[in-house]
Structure 1
Amino acid sequence: MYSDSINNEKELLALIAVGDEAAFRDLFTFYQPRLYTAALRMTGDSALAKDIYQDIFLKVWLNRVTLAGMENFPGWLFTVTRNHIYDSLKRAAKKRASPLELHQDNSADTSADPEHLLQGKEFSRVLQNAIRQLPDKQRETYQLIKQQGLSRNEVAGKMNISPETVKSNLDVAQRKIRAFCLKELGFIPLAVLLVVGLK
């Protein structure tokens, strides 16, 4: 599935393991379209496919300390992606909405550095506070798209507004969330910004 790995992947993984965000961005850029295509093919839902690859890369970042010793990263990524897609399909079938969390039960690794996990939990807490501060329409738009996985057109129908208004609401919501998080934390890792779509 992901056999065409990056030539210097071992080096990138070693750099990511010590927190190199530029290396993470290179890895993200290479694998993101592959993960998205695989998730879209299996789910048939572009919004859900986007959420899936975001979740996968959050797992990669939060568990980065384990990457340096990983012998077959593409194989590991395939397994994690496949399992996450199956889990997402099961949740969608049961019509259960899950909030966007940076540290999810099914993505935690007990071998990960506790400090990194704590940072993930702290950012998740601030993110949820940022969402609560949004005006009603922006908050509803953000939650429907980013948390419940609805498409822009589905949200437009549900809220009785145009798809363009949905896009505008989401863009403004993300800018406000980013500003709130930066104000509260002072710094947000580039890796997190890339994955959760706030950059």
Structure 2
Amino acid sequence: MSDLVSPCEKELLLKVACGDEHAFSELFNIHHQLLGTHIYRITDSVELAEEIVQDVFLKIWMSRETLTAVQNFKAYLFVISKNHALNCLRKLAKERIHQKTIEDNVVALAYEDNAGTDGYYGLLDQAIDHLPPQQQKVYLLSRHSRLKYDEIANQMGLSRETVKKYLQGATHSITSFVQSNIDISAMIILASIFF
């Protein structure tokens, strides 16, 4: 089989395999933009594409010794990144389904508990009111205005990662607040549904 990696790139891969961080940085700079575009086509998300590119290159660095056997680095790169992207999309879909199921069950339980839907939404409003101001604003822009991370970041003058952390913190706080304020019998029913 003919060698599908140029001599220059083969030398670069050998240096990376030996732990040369400068060579790894050079390899990243050569391929990250094209790979990001490829992953964006699969995920339709800039944020997810950026995370996947970083994860893929981290994986390459962690298993760099195997690069000596790679005959076509571009194909190798695209295959592992495509697989990682599909795994991320599956995980994201499962998380969304799980979250939707929890929300549906909590609403049903609150209704059965004579709290009604208004009681549940009142509880959500209370939980949102207890959030720190920045988390509250990020949460409302994301959930109510349906803005994406980048849009929220631009509007609030924050980094995308900060927006992501605020939203995760807000979601955790709201969930904890709702769970701690639902009637204990509803919690037992909810626990029996999931466990």
What is the TM-score normalised by the length of structure 2? 0.50
What residue in structure 2 maps to residue 115 of structure 1? none
8 Å CA contact 1:43–1:85 kept in 2: the answer is yes
8 Å CA contact 2:16–2:24 kept in 1: the answer is yes
1:6 deviates by 6.0
Secondary structure (helix, strand or coil) at the match of 2:95 reads coil
What residue in structure 2 maps to residue 24 of structure 1? 24
Over 4 Å off, 4+ runs = 4-7
1:167 deviates by 2.0
Q: How many residues align?
A: 115
1:70 deviates by 2.0
In the superposition, relative to structure 1, how do residues 61 and 169 fare at CA in structure 2: closer, same or farther (>3 Å)? closer
What residue in structure 2 maps to residue 66 of structure 1? 66
1:165 deviates by 2.5
8 Å CA contact 1:6–1:30 kept in 2: the answer is no
8 Å CA contact 2:16–2:23 kept in 1: the answer is yes
1:21 deviates by 0.9
1:162 deviates by 5.7
Match of 1:165 among 157, 163, 180: 157
The answer for unaligned runs of 5 or more in structure 2 is: 97-132, 139-147, 166-195
Two-structure CA RMSD over aligned residues (Å): 3.2
Larger Rg: 2
Per-residue CA deviations over 1:159-199 (Å, capped at 9, x if unaligned) read: xx8634322984xx9xxxxxxxxxxxxxxxxxxxxxxxxxx
What residue in structure 2 maps to residue 41 of structure 1? 41
Quote the Cα distance in structure 2 between the aligned partners of 1:73 and 1:12: 11
Quote the Cα distance in structure 2 between the aligned partners of 1:168 and 1:51: 12
What residue in structure 1 maps to residue 149 of structure 2? 151
In the superposition, relative to structure 1, how do residues 45 and 6 fare at CA in structure 2: closer, same or farther (>3 Å)? farther
Secondary structure (helix, strand or coil) at the match of 1:166 reads coil
1:68 deviates by 1.7
1:16-165, aligned counterparts within 5 Å?
16-95=16-95, 151-153=149-151, 156=152, 163-165=155-157
1:69 deviates by 2.5
Quote the Cα distance in structure 2 between the aligned partners of 1:169 and 1:83: 24
Name the aligned partner's letter for residue 152 of structure 1.
D
8 Å CA contact 2:5–2:71 kept in 1: the answer is no
In the superposition, relative to structure 1, how do residues 16 and 65 fare at CA in structure 2: closer, same or farther (>3 Å)? same
Quote the Cα distance in structure 1 between the aligned partners of 2:6 and 2:32: 13
In the superposition, relative to structure 1, how do residues 60 and 166 fare at CA in structure 2: closer, same or farther (>3 Å)? same
Percent of aligned positions with the same letter in both sequences? 35
Secondary structure (helix, strand or coil) at the match of 2:69 reads coil
1:152 deviates by 2.4
What is the TM-score normalised by the length of structure 1? 0.49
8 Å CA contact 1:46–1:151 kept in 2: the answer is no
